Structure 1
Amino acid sequence: MIPVFDGHNDFLLRLLREPADREAIWLTGNGKGHLDLPRMRAGGLAGGFFAVYVPSPDAEASLDLDALMDAPPYDLPLPGPVGADAAQPVAAAMVGHLMWMERTGTLTICRSVDDIRAAMAAGRIASILHFEGAEPIGEDLDALHLWHAAGLRSLGPVWSRPTAFGHGVPFRFPGEPDTGPGLTEAGKRLVAECDRLRILIDLSHLNAKGFDDVAALSGAPLVATHSNAHAVTPSTRNLTDRQLAAIRASGGMVGLNFATVFLRPDGRRASFDGWDPVLRHLDHLIEHLGEDHVGFGSDFDGAMVPEAIGDARGLPRLLEALAAHGYGEALIRKLAHENWLAVLDRTWGR
């Protein structure tokens, strides 16, 4: 089985919501969601980016957002900003859960590519601590150093809603990613300090001007951990060909998002059978980025995924579909894990 290293999951959010059941959720599985240790092992999912995402306390519960996303066109309202004082205790709880997972002996929080390779060789899940939104970091950036000491090695300045550092894209279909202003002055300082600490900057969820600001300021490869091709599915969350060209020129990377709403050309959230939308996006990404700059960014436990994948156990079916589509074994290995390890080496080892 070819091992898979994945660009994004929201598993820690499940533990945040059910902390008393974390042993069953992680170690034996409770039949919910997309991930747990047994299903990762069964599907060859050797590791990936484990996201810390702080839920919005003022999210509009009266709207059925899933139903709206299944009936395009749509333009969903974004919740308001979350301050660092409110976000930090939530992030600490989620990082604590990841550290508990490490203490079980089943997972390693990796700070280098050597750590990832060692964990994979030992049969432990290789985890990268990632922040999906920089809300747990204040504008003075002191907390960035605290989180870095705890293992933070990847950070997205925003999760769609605005932060002190920049502006994300709304969930809109059809739509362009050019939706507002870019990074704030604090955001520009954040990018510079992440470059100094060699923390990967994730472009997923940033709007076009924020993307361009990162590209102008950072000397690191440009990486979108879980995004797709705008030319195939014109969602604000997907990347235009211009953005893909910038990523390629930087030696960067895009992880294919399995979320149906960003895969289906019609923009609907509903699941689907078969592989056509997945293959269309991968073909486009490989055409515009090259074979060395594409991988997977599943969004497991954070999105509806295609029926043919289902959960982590479906990854071998995905690799079989790629082979049937004409991708050779060398390319499949690149997509599955080699490209992620290479771009992390270029980012962390600069």
Structure 2
Amino acid sequence: MPKSSFPLVFDGHNDMLLRLVGNEGADPVHDFMHGRANGHLDLPRMIEGGFGGGLFAVFVPSSGPRRSRNTQPSNSPQDEPLPPPLAQSEALPAVLAMIAILLRLERASNGRFRVCRSVADIRAAMADEAIAAVLHFEGAEAIDTDLHALDVFQQAGLRSIGPVWSRPTQYGHGVPFRYPSSPDTGDGLTQHGRAFVRACNERRIAIDLSHLNEKGFWDVARLSDAPLIASHSNAHAVCAHARNLTDDQMRAIRDSGGIAGLNFANCFLRPDARDMADTGVDVMLRHLDHMLEIMGPDHVGIGSDFDGALIPDAIGDGAGLPVLQAAMQAHGYDAKTLQSISQENWLRTLHATWGA
């Protein structure tokens, strides 16, 4: 499978399913199998870039205009208003549509794309040169507070979930798209949110903290008996965006045996938070250096946000993963660290969470 000489990448976050379901009038299976000019991920580009697998997000966008892309001068403050909560009745059809696409890709791929429910499944898929896809929910709007849907979706393959995207849910509050800002932007988990964390622990479903605000983060840290995971979050010390992790948050992730995945979004990478495509790979290395300094080489991974963000032109799309890996190597990361960041840290953390 891999065209790259670097280790296969297990990516902690992408929004490919949202892109495919949003291509009105197109055939998402054909688009994935044969590739298209738009977006970041499809089978040909995954093969070219050594994309071995990852968490495939189900995300329900709010109605109305999408979040603006910031092109303001550096140091301009940003504070984009969050959309209101979504009802389960509004979220559920979109969630089912994206899960259906995931399952159809598996059926149509002749074994080249597999929905995985354990780390053993992931390793087997990658060994067979197949894409290892794990179902993830970015926001729990489709989960009722009685948690009936959680059990159903777990049987369908759900293995990872974030209680919130940035808009609030019945479980907690997310961070706004605000710069400069700390992630301490509001209240923590609700009563339902605390029950949700316990339920995910009981079912051994990973809890993703990337969009949760700081009080919610610390609530999960106190309640959860699983490793802390921030699937696609960067270092606040390098870019002071509310979406990024403070050093204290990263230490908590490290101490829990968890992981944080480097997000490729320009606005979470650049110190000025501008969503500009000329962002250099050197800025990505600055975040990795800081994350490694705070958390060590066993707790840092990749969480690209492919198909969900504007990313550096130097990477371009899924075929560009070796560009980052080559930069890491040239920067002095040894082979073990490169392997750990590319895939092993994710697989170890998921095994510790899932127990399989």
* TM-score category, normalised to shorter length: over 0.9
Q: SS at the partner of 1:155?
A: strand
Question: Structure 1 residues 238 and 117, CA, compared in 2 at 3 Å: closer, same or farther?
Answer: same
Aligned residue type for 2:317: D
* 1:235 to partner: Cα distance: 0.2
Question: Structure 1 residues 108 and 21, CA, compared in 2 at 3 Å: closer, same or farther?
Answer: same
Equivalent position of 1:252 in the other structure: 258
Equivalent position of 2:132 in the other structure: 126
In structure 1, which of residues 99, 102, 120 is the aligned counterpart of residue 103 of structure 2? Answer: 99
- 1:15-94 equivalent positions in 2, closer than 5 A: 15-18=20-23, 20-57=26-63, 59-60=64-65, 65-67=68-70, 72-94=76-98
What CA distance in whole angstroms lies between the structure 2 residues aligned with 1:67 and 1:274?
Answer: 17
Q: SS at the partner of 1:66?
A: coil
What CA distance in whole angstroms lies between the structure 2 residues aligned with 1:121 and 1:195?
Answer: 29
Contact 1:60 1:79 in 2 (8 A): no
Paired-residue identity, %: 56
1:333 maps onto 2:339 in alignment? yes
* 1:67 to partner: Cα distance: 3.9
* 1:217 to partner: Cα distance: 0.5
Q: What TM-score comes out, normalization by structure 1 length? A: 0.97
Contact 1:154 1:202 in 2 (8 A): yes
Contact 2:168 2:174 in 1 (8 A): yes
- 1:102-113 equivalent positions in 2, closer than 5 A: 102-104=106-108, 105=110, 106-113=112-119
Equivalent position of 1:139 in the other structure: 145
Question: Structure 1 residues 300 and 4, CA, compared in 2 at 3 Å: closer, same or farther?
Answer: same
Cα deviations across residues 17-73 of structure 1 (Å, max 9, x unaligned)? 12632133200111111100000000000100100001102x346xx7114667631
Contact 2:235 2:244 in 1 (8 A): yes
Equivalent position of 1:321 in the other structure: 327
* 1:273 to partner: Cα distance: 4.8
Gap runs ≥5 in structure 1: none
1:8 maps onto 2:10 in alignment? no
Flag as ranges the 4+ runs of structure 1 deviating above 3 A.
Answer: 67-71
* 1:274 to partner: Cα distance: 3.2
In structure 1, which of residues 125, 131, 152 is the aligned counterpart of residue 158 of structure 2? Answer: 152
More moved, 6-15 vs 66-75: 66-75
In structure 2, which of residues 337, 345, 352 is the aligned counterpart of residue 346 of structure 1? Answer: 352
Aligned residue type for 1:54: V
Q: SS at the partner of 1:221?
A: coil
* 1:4 to partner: Cα distance: 0.6
1:216 maps onto 2:222 in alignment? yes
Aligned residue type for 1:94: M
Contact 2:266 2:279 in 1 (8 A): no
Q: What TM-score comes out, normalization by structure 2 length? A: 0.95
Contact 2:70 2:274 in 1 (8 A): no
Aligned residue type for 1:75: D
Cα deviations across residues 152-185 of structure 1 (Å, max 9, x unaligned)? 0000000000001100000000001000001111
Equivalent position of 1:266 in the other structure: 272
What CA distance in whole angstroms lies between the structure 1 residues aligned with 2:36 and 2:248?
Answer: 43
Question: Structure 1 residues 41 and 317, CA, compared in 2 at 3 Å: closer, same or farther?
Answer: same
Aligned length: 347
Aligned residue type for 2:69: D
Aligned residue type for 2:114: T
Contact 1:68 1:74 in 2 (8 A): no
